[in-house]
Structure 1
Amino acid sequence: MVRLTRVEQQARTRAAVLAAAREEFAEHGFGPAKVDRIAERADLTRGAVYSNFPSKRALYLAVLIDLVEQDSGTVAAVSPSSRADALGVFARGWLERLPLAGDSAPGGRLQLRSLDGVFEDEPGPSVAAQVARLEALLLALALEEGGVMRCVRLAELVLTLLDGAGHRAATAPGSGDPFDVAHACRHLAGIDLQDTWAPPHLPYVAPAQACSDAWSPPAGLVDVISGSPVDVGHGLVVVLGAGRLGAAEEAVRSASPGEQVVVAVVTGDPAETGRLVRLRLTDTVACLRRVFAVSSWPPVRLVLDDDARVASAIGLAGAGDETESAVSVRDGLIVARSHGRGAGHAAGAHSREATP
């Protein structure tokens, strides 16, 4: 008889819980699902379920993340010839999740990665709004490659249209034509939204503090965008709480051309808020990878800092959802620090001014 190690047994239990939860949520939906039934399906106790997932919501998010990671796979980018083509391909990839006529409503919502009715209390809605801003920035940066026009408002419009199609499909599976939606997304590229970047508060942000501190970057960090290890030995390192993700663009726009910007996302609640962020960003990036080659992306790296290792490395204690802090790293030293609103902009401006 083969004896499992404790780690192996924990992994087996977690896998059994996820499989049982997926069946329960597909059959009943999030609200009516019962943890007791999930435990029964997995042939485990209720306590065993809660020892792996602290709440039904955390378990539901884990199931969705597992679905996204299984579906993402390795898909070759198509190298679109125009911004319109890129949006069309991105939309078609996103719309593949739509349920078909005849699919059950609970199963369809699971397939859609729907969060309707899951986060009705704060900070869920506020965090979701911040994640939406970061999603739009990621799509925009890919669309801006080689161009001079800011594309964030265009990206927000496309994502709003796709989210709307998803909400409609969640309530009426099979309604609407996804090809029409993808066609509409493609033609949105021709709309002149007069998108500019001039936040009125940035001129009032305090300058970063110059310093010369030792830098010991944490090892083993993985970039969500490329799936590759992250070298945080140079460039800007920005730590943002889940409630401040919209500030990522401040660092990206302030950095010197070609300078690496590492955005590390932290939260005070990894089990729920952290999983919400992971789900949404992993899902968006999976769609982006189908369109844009990783090598063509700007040097922006995205790290989900669940254990706050990046935050600790730059000297932050007790990082949470409202954290906003940044450092500029050069030649193995931290040469500038900034904390509070506008930190990424301040550190990026310091780095740009110091570049010969």
Structure 2
Amino acid sequence: MARLTRAEQQERTRAAVLVAARHEFAEHGYADAKVDRIAERADLTRGAVYSNFTGKRALYLAVLADAAEQARDSARAPERSPGSVAAALGAFARVWLERLPLVDDTPGKGHLRLRSLTGVLDTAPARTALAELVRFEALLLALALEPRRAPRARTVRLAGLAQTLLHGAAHLAENAPGVGDPFDLARAAEHLADITLTESTEPAHLPFIDPARPAADRWTPPRGLHDEITGRPVDLGDDGLVVVLGAGRLSAAQEAVRSARPGDPVTFVLVTDDPAETGRLTRLRIADLVGCLRRVFAAEDLPWPRVVVDDGAQVPAALGLPTADDRTETAICIRAGLIVARASGRGSGHAVANHDDQPHPTPSP
């Protein structure tokens, strides 16, 4: 029998730890789970667990992310999308509400079904990242509600209201399983489409953003990236806009989408300096949302921007950025394989989207 390579052994160990952790969290809940018991369940040492995961919180997030990614990958798209925004919100709510705990679930098992984060995110950066992720999720849902175009600000707010309804129902069900009728909640989500919401004005800072810097730079984008929405490989050498956002700046995606020219591809690259926890939180939330979207919307109506989770900061490194953290916000415009514009700081996606993208005649080496 051939010996396992180091990478294969590490992957086997990681898989065993995740299985053991899933049972531990289901039985004892997050607060009372013990890393020592997880190691014992996996027939491993405590050190073997910590060689793959930085701590209990990272392990819990990994268990949830793994479940969300499995659900996403098994999702099957319908032949056609719901015919109206109201119908789409109702269908999305019905799919999302399937996770509500059952009456006979243990508290720990119910929390896993919900992919609950209650009591888990106890640091300011993690809570900020979650708030920004929720706003980013609202944008993605709005893009599915209004496919193949930049969604109206009202639609983004409407998607946010739907999220508030669903997460509020989940929080109640977490503490009182069986409370709240899923069919009533789905009908309530449908009726949100009729709520009167005014169109929001553009962010006040947009007129004061510095223009993008012209460039003619060659670059070698990293390989092996994939789009979280479709699962397809991503080539960042293609024409379009690439917007790199830290976990604390994801709300800037909306202004980049609204500023992009019709037909101009947009890729969001999500980065963090904490891949063990914030990176896994990002993967969890994006995979969870996309799994629902794939079951409700036809493939051609899924959100059109590409979303890349780059928790290894490969793209910032390829762009020559010295660091990438949760406050990163930078963007480039690519034409004919060249970077023709760069911008960094607040509003960078808006800046490159409005750049006159004619490349310089002589590429930089």
- Which residue does the alignment assign to 1:22? 22
Query: Equivalent residue of 1:263, what SS?
Result: strand
Q: CA deviation at 1:352?
A: 7.5
- Which residue does the alignment assign to 1:313? 318
Task: Please say if residues 237 and 326 of structure 1, whose CA atoms lie closer than 8 Å, have aligned partners that are also in contact.
Answer: yes
Q: CA deviation at 1:302?
A: 0.3
The yes-or-no answer on 1:276 pairing with 2:278 is no
Counterparts of 2:71 and 2:243, CA distance in 1:
30
Matches within 5 A, 1:76-87: 76-77=77-78, 78-87=80-89
- Which residue does the alignment assign to 1:33? 33
- Which residue does the alignment assign to 2:362? none
Q: CA deviation at 1:4?
A: 2.2
- Which residue does the alignment assign to 1:175? 179
- Which residue does the alignment assign to 1:74? 75
- Which residue does the alignment assign to 1:51? 51
Q: CA deviation at 1:71?
A: 2.3
Query: Equivalent residue of 2:249, what SS?
Result: helix
Counterparts of 2:5 and 2:335, CA distance in 1:
44
- Which residue does the alignment assign to 2:228? 224
C-alpha spacing 1:175/1:353, structure 2 compared with 1 (3 Å):
farther
Query: Equivalent residue of 1:257, what SS?
Result: coil
Counterparts of 2:206 and 2:284, CA distance in 1:
31
Counterparts of 1:195 and 1:59, CA distance in 2:
41
The yes-or-no answer on 1:285 pairing with 2:287 is no
C-alpha spacing 1:30/1:217, structure 2 compared with 1 (3 Å):
same
Q: Give CA-to-partner distance per residue, 1:58-96, whole Å, 9 cap, x none.
A: 000110011112223131235111111111111111000
Q: Which of 238, 247, 251 in structure 2 is aligned with 1:242?
A: 247
Counterparts of 1:213 and 1:280, CA distance in 2:
34
C-alpha spacing 1:37/1:252, structure 2 compared with 1 (3 Å):
same
- Structure 2 gap ranges (5+): 360-365
Task: Please say if residues 258 and 298 of structure 1, whose CA atoms lie closer than 8 Å, have aligned partners that are also in contact.
Answer: no
Counterparts of 1:154 and 1:63, CA distance in 2:
31
- Which residue does the alignment assign to 2:363? none
Task: Please say if residues 256 and 351 of structure 1, whose CA atoms lie closer than 8 Å, have aligned partners that are also in contact.
Answer: no
The yes-or-no answer on 1:187 pairing with 2:188 is no
Q: CA deviation at 1:197?
A: 4.5
Counterparts of 1:217 and 1:349, CA distance in 2:
23
Q: CA deviation at 1:353?
A: 9.5
Matches within 5 A, 1:72-111: 72=72, 73-77=74-78, 78-111=80-113
Counterparts of 1:183 and 1:109, CA distance in 2:
25
Task: Please say if residues 258 and 299 of structure 1, whose CA atoms lie closer than 8 Å, have aligned partners that are also in contact.
Answer: no
Query: Equivalent residue of 1:76, what SS?
Result: coil
The code of the aligned residue for 1:44 comes to: L
TM-score if structure 2 supplies the norm length?
Answer: 0.94
Q: CA deviation at 1:295?
A: 1.9
Q: CA deviation at 1:221?
A: 1.1
CA-based RMSD: 1.6
Q: CA deviation at 1:192?
A: 2.2
The code of the aligned residue for 1:13 comes to: T
Q: CA deviation at 1:2?
A: 4.5
Counterparts of 1:217 and 1:121, CA distance in 2:
33
The code of the aligned residue for 1:69 comes to: E
TM-score if structure 1 supplies the norm length?
Answer: 0.96
Counterparts of 2:40 and 2:233, CA distance in 1:
40
Task: Please say if residues 145 and 296 of structure 1, whose CA atoms lie closer than 8 Å, have aligned partners that are also in contact.
Answer: yes
Q: CA deviation at 1:37?
A: 0.5
Task: Please say if residues 147 and 304 of structure 2, whose CA atoms lie closer than 8 Å, have aligned partners that are also in contact.
Answer: no
Q: CA deviation at 1:53?
A: 0.4
137-146 vs 259-268, greater mean Cα deviation: 137-146
Q: CA deviation at 1:298?
A: 5.1
Q: Give CA-to-partner distance per residue, 1:176-207, whole Å, 9 cap, x none.
A: 10111111001111112123351111001111
Query: Equivalent residue of 1:188, what SS?
Result: helix
Q: Which of 342, 347, 351 in structure 1 is aligned with 2:352?
A: 347
The code of the aligned residue for 1:222 comes to: H
Query: Equivalent residue of 2:223, what SS?
Result: coil
C-alpha spacing 1:353/1:105, structure 2 compared with 1 (3 Å):
farther
